A = this chain, B = another copy of it.
Amino acid sequence: MPIERSDLLQGTLDMLILKIAALGPVHGYGISQRIRQISKEVLQVQQGSLYPALHRLEKRGWLEADWGSSSNGRQAKFYRLSSKGRKQLDKEQSNWERLSEAVALIMQTAH
């Protein structure tokens, strides 16, 4: 059986998380929901991808986190963008634009 793959474009998850966090403090589970909603169900972040990514970003100093309670009164870890994270987001966004435009150039070359 051929393998059907890819809920995400590899390499964009960090950027997407930083972008969602830039909209205001949000917990991990909420990030995955927002990505799914805003992308109209196209992008689905697996929890096994999400949490390692959050820890990675926090470790690099791009996100900062505090425990608090969610709208349901549950314990949740809220993430916000640090100023280093803001710079990183800008960098990743411009890199994304550069690369996706380059891919588009190739995909548009006439047959």
Contact = CB atoms under 8 A, between A and B. Distances in A.
Interface of A: 6, 8-12, 15-16, 19-20, 22-23, 35, 38-40, 42-43, 93, 95-96, 98-103, 105-107, 109, 111
Contacts of A102: 39-40, 42-43
Contacts of A103: 9, 12, 16, 39, 43, 96, 100
Contacts of A111: 22-23
Copies of this chain in its oligomeric complex: 2
Contacts of A23: 109, 111
A13 to B, nearest CB: 10
A12 B40 CA distance: 22
A30 B90 CA distance: 34
A105 B10 contact: no
